[in-house]
Structures are given as C-alpha cells and as structure tokens.
Amino acid sequence: MKMLNKTALSRAVMVFAAILSVAAAMAQNMRVMSYNVRYKNTIDSINGWEFRKGNVVGLIKYHKVDIFGTQEGNTEQLADLEKSLPEFKWYGVPRVAGKNGEFTAIFYIKERYTLLDSGTFWFSETPFVKESKSWDAMYPRIASWCKFKDKKSGQVFFLFNTHFDHRGEIARQKSAEIIRQQVELIAKKAPVIVTGDFNSVETSKAYKTIVEGGQLKDALHISETPHYGPVNTSSGFAVSSKPIRARIDFIFVNDKVKVLQHATITDQQEARYYSDHLPVVAEVKLVK
C-alpha cells in the first residue's frame, strides 16, 4: 500500500477532527420531556397503569430521553419506573402524605448528571409548609426542582417540574407568580428548564404571567426547527379523529438554554395513548 502524502493525511485528520467536533456537540445536547403519566386507579379499566406502564417505559427509552419530569405519578408508579429504568435516578416528594400522594418527580440519567441540590415548594400563601393550599385550589399542588451538573460539559443547570391545580383559576395565577419568583430566587442566572402540566392554555393569565418579561420562554415558540406533532396535549386515552382538546403541558426555558427541536409525541397502541396527556419533548443545549 502506498503511504498517504502529507496533504492527504492532513485532510484526513481535519475531517476526522470535524466529525469528532460534531459528535461532541451532539453529545452535549439534552432531550428533555414533560409527561403527565395519569395517576394509578381502578376506574381506567383497560387504560389502567398496569396495562400501559411498559409502553410508558418503552416511549422514554425509544425517544432517548435524558431527563424528564412526571406529573400525577404516585409511589407505586414511580417505583415501577425506577425498576424498569435502572439507568435513571429520581427526586421528588408527594404533595400529600400517603401512598396515593402524587409527585412532580424529576428523573435523570445517573451516568450523565450529578445532582447537586433539590427541593420542593407548595403553591400557597405559605410555600414551605407541607401540604398547604390557598385561594380556590382543590388540592395542594407543588413544584420540585433539581440543580444538576452535566458530567459531559461541566455545566450547571436547574430543572423545575410542576403540576398546577385543575379547578382553581386564581390558584393557577398565583402558582404562576410563585414559580417565577422561586425560579429567580433559586436558579438566579443559571440555565433553567421548567416542565409541567399547567392546566392552563396560552391565552390564560397563568401562562401570560409565566412568560411575562421574557425571563422564561415557551420552548415551542423558540425552537430552531418547526414543531413536530400536534400542538395540543390534553388527549384522553382514545385516539380519535376529533382534534386534541387543549395545550396545557409545556416546557419553558430561560435565555441560557437553546431549543433545537420541540415535539408532541403521539405514540399509541391499539388506538390508545399511553396516558391521557401526550408527552412533550424538547432537544436543548445549554448556552455557555
């Protein structure tokens, strides 16, 4: 075989370096998901958790999610996810005590992220009093947060995950105020991602409060590529020809997070979605 001349060798090295550079950049991207997994109960019949939990796990694995927030999951459901997703760790506390207490849990790939700090607050006039609720809220509602270090890039960022009340309009407005305040107090100027079921549409006062001033932006609207899938997320279990009801599940980010892609996932089996909400996924990159 003839030896490569210096010019050809130099070109080959440059190409290889470029490939490595692109691969490294892609490796630092994160796939973030928000997913209301529907609480475990006996009234959902064939849509009960025991019949769909495998599909939920499969969806997370297939879409290569790095970090995700769940809503409504209780202790048993989170234990199922933990068992089936051994590559993940998670943080969360229930909004009320007992096995049926729902979490706003945050799952993360343990080989990639180091958990530096975490916490939970309640949406009430006393946010750090457990199980507290105020205004017209039907239930105590919470937001959980984690401070992470990305082992690949060394960057530190925060993820907040929440679930607003489904009945109280005033409670949702006040919850939006609280989460904005807590994001600013806790994360300060660090990169921030907020996931959740906000039980609020884009025209609501709660949504407008969250994005007011531009500190937090709706990931769908700033994605570098067009949104994929339906916009609305409150689907019910049945796949139907009728339009999906409303967009109430969101991913928000601050200006330290670049959104590369945004999608609503419609995976289904036998004309049934895996939850009564569709998961929202964004591929993001932290801005250095």
Q: List per-residue pLDDT tens for the chain, 288 residues long.
A: 455 566 555 565 454 444 334 444 445 899 999 999 999 999 999 999 999 999 999 999 999 999 999 999 999 999 999 999 999 999 999 999 998 899 999 999 999 999 999 999 999 999 999 999 999 999 999 999 999 999 999 999 999 999 999 999 999 999 999 999 999 999 999 999 999 999 999 999 999 999 999 999 999 999 999 999 999 999 999 999 999 999 999 999 999 999 999 999 999 999 999 999 999 999 999 998
Write down all domains in the chain, each with its CATH number in brackets. 30-286 (3.60.10.10)
- 40: its two tokens: 């475990």
Residue type, 131: E
Find the angle CA(21)-CA(27)-CA(28) to the nearest 5 degrees.
95
Q: Which residues pair with 272 in a beta bridge?
A: 238, 269
Closest to 158 in 3D by CA, of 146, 141, 175: 146
Rounded to two decimals, the pTM is 0.91
pLDDT of residue 27: 56
pLDDT of residue 19: 39
The answer to whether residues 95 and 102 touch, using CB atoms and an 8 Å cutoff, is yes
Q: Which H helix or E strand runs over 6?
A: helix 6-27
pLDDT of residue 9: 52
End-to-end CA distance of the chain: 46
Cβ count near 124 (within 10 Å):
21
Rounded CA gap, 201 and 282, in Å? 19
The structure tokens 């790095």 sit at: 66
pLDDT of residue 288: 84
